[in-house]
Structure 1
Amino acid sequence: MSISESPHDMRSKAGDDLEESLLKRALSGNIPVHVGIVMDGNGRWAVSRGMKRSEGHRAGVESLKRCLPALLRLGIRFCTFYVFSTENWKRPREEVQFLMDLILEYAKEDRSDFIRQGIRVIPIGRWREMPRQVVQALSRLAMDTASGDKLTVLLAVNYGGRQEIVDAAKELAISYVGREKELQAAGEEEFRQFLYEPSAPDVDLVIRTSGEMRLSNFLLWRAAYAELVFLDVLWPDFGPVDLYKSIIEYQGRERRFGDVGRE
């Protein structure tokens, strides 16, 4: 260590070296097209530090923003973030209101960053049932980023996997009124056209933070054959290194899609 280098500088350089090494390793393998992320642990992160849960949610937004350049470097084409579930309305009123304000703030203030990075943002779920200002901000964000061609970010807002399937089934039935024979012949491809965002492909990898090991009603249709990676890290502590490690773990899996796989 030179005289000009502090221990902090050395740790920072070591962290950067690890990040670059993991990125290089990840890029040498098969990169998933669509990644889904269950951003869990914001509240626990804050409570463990003697902070308000709201501060954990704000820190979680910063973690999401840190992920975007890493996703771009990997060349991932789609990433769905589980922002607010249909079950999250059960949380304390004050927390729900803070989350609405945070979504509104994020949609407005970070729009230029999405545009600059070539990121298209699409909200999915029953987001049009959110407070009017949130709906307007998300609509504007989607419209202004529509030309992004580097990465598509789907924000699952007021989203439930079961509800998506129910809504798609209803829309499918309505579209086939008077065409019962055609409805009987309809299959998965016809059905998926009525999911919240038909252009998004099936999910290859679902990452969930905080140590919980469940999907929590996330992308149930699209994640049918997804690989699942569960991490002990809380979402506000999640960074590029954790993402790269998850991709490397995914690359070590054998995706069989119901087949017997390699003997």
Structure 2
Amino acid sequence: MKEQIDSTNIPKHVAVIMDGNGRWAKQRGATRLFGHRNAIKAVRDVTEGCAEIGVQHLTLYAFSTENWSRPKMEVDGLMTLLVSTIKKEIPTLLKNNIRLQPLGDISHLPKEAQANLQQGVEETSKNDGMILSLALNYSGRWEIGESVGQMLKDIKNNKLDIDNIDNQLINKYICDHIAPDVELMIRTSGEHRISNFLLWQLAYAELYFTDKLWPDFRKNDLFEAVIDFQKRERRYGKISEQLTQ
């Protein structure tokens, strides 16, 4: 599958909504946490796969602001899994020259999770390959709200002229401003929603939906999504004839 990919047309930024862990576990008569634990292989496979083909930035939707409303046992288990997984995966990130960065309001995460995230950020900070963003306690509306709030503060403090606000300026205030716009968004498990994920950055993304549950998603599934992306005509408001001129 990998050999079918056009190396000259790799999406710069791939974003993934990792969905279906609970259903995967239910099919096996197990708890939802069993599904979350068995999803780590998919995370590793997709991360390594993106790095192999030259993706510059990968964002994984790991925990949304809405996920706090899930049963306490599941949330606590997810936080414990987050701590242990970051520790275990740092060698993989170093081996693949991947830099880790968190995306979201991590101040509300457990202290141990915050510490491990910071350790991962520091240990991979000199890597100059792909950037892996983990969206934790994140939502697109939260991100936009934070950006608007900061702009208003800067206007009040005479650091920003309201007449200078445009798309380029807003990009600088968005939390994930170091990443290019998302070009390919993948969602597993058959759901067809973006679920409050990277609302600003997804403006012109190609959306790819698969029925495969996240714990079963592997490199070849990623490569299939990239090949599908490469077959699409990306016009950005133009017509087909303009693209060939």
TM norm. shorter chain > 0.5: yes
1:26 aligns with 5
3-state secondary structure, aligned to 1:203: coil
Which among 21, 27, 37 is matched to residue 58 of structure 1? 37
Alignment partner of 2:173 out of 194, 198, 217: 194
Structure 2 equivalent of residue 229 of structure 1: 208
1:158 is aligned to 137
Can you list the C-alpha shifts for 1:137-176, whole angstroms capped at 9, x where unaligned? 1111111111111211000000100110000111111122
In the TM superposition, what is the alpha-carbon distance from 1:128 to its structure 2 partner?
1.9
Determine the structure 1 residue equivalent to 2:102. 123
The TM-score, its normalising length taken from structure 2, stands at 0.95
Give the unaligned 5+ runs of structure 2: none
Does structure 1 conserve the Cα–Cα contact (< 8 Å) formed by 2:16 and 2:61? yes
| Aligned residue number for residue 248 of structure 1 | 227
Identity %: 38
Aligned pairs for 1:168-187 (under 5 A) are: 168-179=147-158, 182-187=161-166
Stretches of structure 1 lacking an aligned partner (at least 5 in a row): 1-21
Displacement, 1:112?
A: 2.1
Largest Rg, 1 or 2: 1
Which whole-Å CA distance do the structure 2 matches of 1:104 and 1:132 have between them?
A: 10
Paired position in structure 2 for 1:76: 55
Counterpart of 1:211, as a letter, is G
Report which stretch shifted further, 206-215 or 130-139: 130-139
**RMSD, aligned α-carbons:** 1.5
Q: Secondary structure at the match of 2:38?
A: helix
Structure 1 Cα separation of the partners of residues 160 and 129 of structure 2: 41
Q: Is the 8 A contact 1:77 1:152 kept in 2?
A: yes
What secondary structure is seen at the aligned counterpart in 2 of 1:190? helix
> How many Å separate the matches in 2 of 1:222 and 1:144?
27
Aligned residues: 242
Contact kept in structure 1, 2:7 and 2:53, CA below 8 Å: no
Matched residues in 1 for 2:48 and 2:159: separation?
Answer: 48
Tell me if the contact between 2:47 and 2:58 (Cα under 8 Å) persists in the aligned partners: no
| Deviates further, 250-259 or 198-207 | 250-259
Describe the SS at the equivalent of 2:5: helix
When residues 128 and 178 of structure 1 are mapped into structure 2, their CA distance, relative to the original with a 3 A threshold, is closer
* Aligned match of 1:209: 188
